Amino acid sequence: MPELAEVELARRRWEPALGCRITGVETHPRTRVFRNCPARTIAAALTHATLTASRSHGKRLFFSFRDPSPPRPHPPTHLEMHLGMAGRLLAVPPGHPAGRHDHLVLRTDSLALVFSDYRQFGRVVLHRAVAPWEGLPPPPLDPCFTRAHLAALLGRQSRRALKALLLDQDAFPGIGNWMADEICWRVPSHPAAPAGTIDPARLYRVTRQVCRGAMRHVADRNPPTPAAEGFTPGRYVRHVPPRTWLFQHRWRPDGSCPRCGSALARSTIASRTTAWCPACQGPVSPRA
């Protein structure tokens, strides 16, 4: 699921509970999403706390909580989540029972907030610190992600394949496999082309276009919660980018380029299945 727009959508799904007090916390009896942190520690930190803020940063999510009890200054509580390959955040009716793949359920009076992940590649990390998101590299839609910043990236890693660089979360936080292909296709440039051969201004424009478009089509058009009362996880709708995007064609066995109609090529580049248009982007990997 989750690249930056899906992650932002996940954040919005929990947003209706802003200002709500957590009345109870349930954790899956056998889960690895908390990694080394005992589930009891998570539950203890969040029970009776109030959800005060949330933010998404690339593929990371942060939820901030205010502790009720001690009036003493103490380290703030932040919950960081990563959705891995199959993680989802849902808001369901308050009494909704935890399902087989629900690893964390935060109960409030009006909603239950669920972290669900059947593959368990996701993770949930408890931070007891001030602003754990500080110092992270800027995602493409961050004001700090400037043309100069991108040009410096391309210069520093000029020999790396463009796709490998796009997938590097220290360089392009929030870009994943499908957005990387979408960006290469729009530049247009072969995914294996050395980063140093790419025009920084062009890549900057296309990267921002794809990120903004993904936000519009995926995060903005999918409502945070289903409209109907008595909703269940299955009632969530799913909007994806339109057919003018490579996204809609990349997995079809007979997929063709939405720009020129040529048959798409598919092979493994940067260790990931990659789709591209041989006519628009070149049939083989160019050399530096």
Question: Applying CB under 7 A, does 146 fall inside the site for DNA?
Answer: no
Residues 154-213 that bind DNA (CB under 7 A): 157, 159-161, 164, 167, 169, 176-178
User: Cβ 19 to DNA, closest distance in Å?
Assistant: 30
Residues in 8-37 that interact with DNA by CB under 7 A: 32
When asked if residue 85 is in the footprint of DNA (CB under 7 A), the reply is yes
Instruction: Report helix, strand or coil for 264.
Output: coil
Nearest-10 Cα torsion for 281, 283, 285, 288: -70
| b/e sequence 178-199, b meaning 16+ C-beta within 10 Å | bbbbbbbbbbbbbbbbbbeebe
111 C-beta neighbours (distance < 10 Å), count: 20
Structure tokens at 32: 């690895």
- Regarding 50 and contact with DNA (CB under 7 A), the answer is no
130: tokens are: 């001030």
Interface segment toward DNA; rule CB under 7 A; list 10-18, 124-132, 143-151, 268-276: 268-276
The answer to whether 272 contacts DNA (rule: CB under 7 A) is yes
Residue 6 interacting with DNA (CB under 7 A): yes
Determine the size of the site formed for DNA (CB under 7 A).
31
Report the phi/psi class of residue 4: left, alpha or beta, with left for phi > 0 and alpha for psi in -120 to 50: alpha
Among 11, 82, 96, 103, binds DNA (CB under 7 A): 82
Quick check: 49 binds DNA (CB under 7 A)? no
What is the rounded distance in angstroms from the CA atom of residue 121 to the CA atom of residue 87? 8
Site string (88-107) toward DNA, x via CB under 7 A = ------------xx------
Q: Min. distance of Cβ 92 from DNA in angstroms?
A: 19
Is 33:104 a contact under the CB 8 Å cutoff?
yes
Part of the chain binding DNA (CB under 7 A), chosen from 127-135, 204-212, 219-227, 264-272: 264-272
Instruction: Report yes or no: 265 and 249 within 8 Å, Cβ to Cβ.
Output: no
Site string for DNA, 237-256 (x = CB under 7 A): ---x----------------
For 20-86, give the DSSP string.
-B--EEEE-SS--TTTTS-HHHHHHHHTT-EEEEEEEETTEEEEEEE-SS--S----EEEEEE-TTT
Q: Residues in the chain, how many?
A: 288
Does residue 84 interact with DNA by CB under 7 A?
Answer: yes
The residue (of 113 and 214) whose beta carbon lies closer to DNA is 214
Considering the rule CB under 7 A, would residue 264 count as an interface residue with DNA? no
Residue 59 in contact with DNA, rule: CB under 7 A: yes
Q: Does 236 bind DNA (CB under 7 A)?
A: no
Q: How far apart are CA 194 and CA 200, in angstroms?
A: 12
Identify whether the C-beta of residue 64 lies closer than 8 Å to the C-beta of residue 51: yes
Q: Does 119 bind DNA (CB under 7 A)?
A: yes
User: Which residues of this chain interact with DNA, rule CB under 7 A?
Assistant: 1-3, 6, 32, 59, 82, 84-85, 100-101, 118-121, 157, 159-161, 164, 167, 169, 176-178, 240, 268, 270-273
